[in-house]
Chains A and B, each alone.
Chain A
Amino acid sequence: MSLPRITRLPPVRLLSSIYHHHCQQLLLPSITPLTVPRRTVVQNEYRRPGQPKEDKWPWQKMNFGLSKGLEGIKKHFTLMKKEFSDTWVGPEGKPVLEHMLEQNRVVCEFRNPEDLEQWTVSSDREIGGQSEVYLKLGKYNTCFLYGTLCSAPPKDGETRYSGYCTMRSKQQLSSLDRKKHYDWTSFNTLHLRVRGDGRPWMISIGTETYFSHQKDDLYCYFLYTRGGPYWQDVKIPFSKFFLTHRGRIQDDQHPLWLDKVNTVGFTLGDKADGPFQLEIDYIGVCKDYAHTEEFAYELYKRNPEV
């Protein structure tokens, strides 16, 4: 991965001397000095390299129209009314008996184009790479993710590796744009029905990180697709998911807590250039009573007293 650009920039005084004397160009045209975003630990907006600079103030980008306001009010009040009425039925709008008895739950099904709106796709094109990824509704009302992977790194002189495509669910919002979390504590296994092309994918689950200030924490596990015309039922226990931060596996592992799950994602980065496709019928969770493992990885002490 590329190093932070700020560490590579020469001091400002030297920059101005370079421009003045038209000396050997140390800076590439794509780098804009003094406006390069710094990597911070707080949840700031990050301007990806290659994207145009923001030259409008926030209020210039917003639409203050009355119709938009009225639509917003209607939408939020409808959601609020639904929330209030759901509490009369039970937690999350279902009776408690259903919560106690259910052993399987379908979380995502792809039957309408609106279901695809809940997902966002991304590839290394955003950092200057050449991969392509598209999402559409498959032939039999499934989610069809396809594209081309290209691991040629962008020509910016810094990025050494590239070639990834990803699809991630959007953060669910309840009324007044508050975050809504999935509560999967009654379950212990992720159940997917997929049809791939033999490529290995990475499934990542994102939990609530607002208070821990680690917004790039993801719990990941592998999905090895079989390829071929037959559907594949994949069941991955949640105890197998390991903690990563910005793609790097962490030493300090802990189990995934299932009471505030925000997003699920699929990433492909197997360095094999060429077309790919992944078809997903549904994503669900289930309770496997035979699986009693709490966490699959060693919670060893990193600095044991000798």
Chain B
Amino acid sequence: MSPMLSSTLLFALGIGTTITFASSHWFLAWMGLEINTLAILPLMAQYHHPRAVEATLKYFLTQATAASTLLFATTTNAWLTGQWDIQHMTHPLPATLFTLALALKVGLAPLHIWLPEVLQGLDLGTGLIMSTWQKLAPFALLIQIYPANSTLLIILGLASTLVGGWGGLNQTQLRKILAYSSVAHLGWMVLVLQFSPALTLLTLLMYLIMTFSTFLAFKLTNATNINALATAWTKAPALTALMPLVLLSLGGLPPLSGFMPKWLILQELSKQDLALTATLAALTALLSLYFYLRLSYAMALTMFPNTPTGTPPWRFQSSQVTFPLAISVTATLMLLPLTPTITALLTS
């Protein structure tokens, strides 16, 4: 794709999200989401590979369905309440429809089935944009609406954490594993949405940083399945040493940054007398941790039997810029001590 075209599409991606961030009218927010969808479609299909075309088609169909449901919900709300303001969505029916539409947009269980297939058909760079940037705009809307559907949000959250953990157990493809990881993290975000939107934002930002590191690391080592991770140590030994920690941070283990959102969410849920929900969420996080550990084992803790000791691949200077990866890995591993500062910033 020519640089002009790809920069136009990336700019459109940015503009779409920004429009959604900046809008207070439902129509404008919907427009921003549509611009986002339409801008990423050529980026997904740019290689004209049948699998990329398949992923693009599936993504388009699901996002179009979600967008039309969203528009229907907002129109119904305008009809029932007489106004289009985002923060005044008070009628329960459009609020439910809207929540389900956004759940389909981001890939919350049980509306998550498209996400692994779509991510599997993309290259790692486009998959990164889809997993990170495309989640921002829908969450900007979810955070703004009045939480009228507490039960629905809890159900979506718990189902997502469960399905995200369970579904990832039987995968050998890294992109599908990251898709299920995304579903699980989105579940955690949605669980606490109605009690503390600031925590949802924090979880989202931490998830973006951790996923960014993971995708970039896989892109650097050109790994798309677990077996390819086994020979990653020959290509980037320092990164291979750090990646298990990044994966454990994704799993939410202390003393890594990924523990921060999980800890604060469990604390908040306990304060809201939802101890059972908190317990279930914590237990389902163990399922996700299992497959993150499996990736760590494959990457750094095991030596595969047929590793060619005589023919390691040449370690050329990587054409990929590693500076963003360095920053994001540092943030993924080292931000836990800053929890008081971050909590103070969020609550101020």
Contact = CB atoms under 8 A, between A and B. Distances in A.
A217 interface: yes
A214 B171 contact: no
Contacts of A260: 51
A96 B290 CA distance: 12
B318 to A, nearest CB: 16
B170 A186 contact: no
Contact of B227 (A91, A207, A287): A287
Contact of B170 (A91, A185, A287, A290): A91
Contacts of B47: 254
A289 interface: yes
Nearest to B312: A289
Interface in B52-84: 53-54, 57-58
A217 B298 CA distance: 35
A211 B53 contact: yes
B48 interface: yes
Interface bin, chain B? 20 to 34
A198 interface: no
Interface string B211-235: 0000000000000111100110000
Interface stretch (A16-24, A61-69, A97-105, A227-235): A97-105
Contacts of B340: none
A223 B41 CA distance: 39
A212 B305 CA distance: 39
B49 A257 contact: yes
Among B50, B58, B304, find the residue whose CB has the most chain A CB atoms closer than 10 A: B50
27 contacts: A87-B170, A96-B170, A96-B226, A96-B294, A99-B226, A99-B227, A100-B172, A100-B230, A100-B304, A101-B304, A101-B305, A185-B172, A186-B225, A208-B50, A209-B50, A211-B53, A212-B54, A214-B50, A217-B50, A254-B47, A254-B49, A257-B50, A259-B120, A259-B173, A260-B51, A287-B227, A289-B311
B1 to A, nearest CB: 11
Contacts, number: 67
B306 interface: yes
Given A87-B170, A257-B49, A292-B313, 19 more contacts: A90-B170, A91-B171, A96-B294, A99-B226, A100-B227, A100-B304, A101-B305, A183-B172, A185-B173, A186-B172, A186-B225, A208-B54, A211-B53, A212-B50, A254-B47, A254-B48, A259-B51, A289-B311, A290-B308
B315 to A, nearest CB: 13
B250 to A, nearest CB: 18
A103 B305 CA distance: 10
Nearest to A289: B308
B2 interface: yes
A305 B3 CA distance: 12
A158 interface: no
A252 interface: yes
Nearest to B222: A294
Contacts of A103: 306
B225 A185 contact: yes
B151 to A, nearest CB: 29
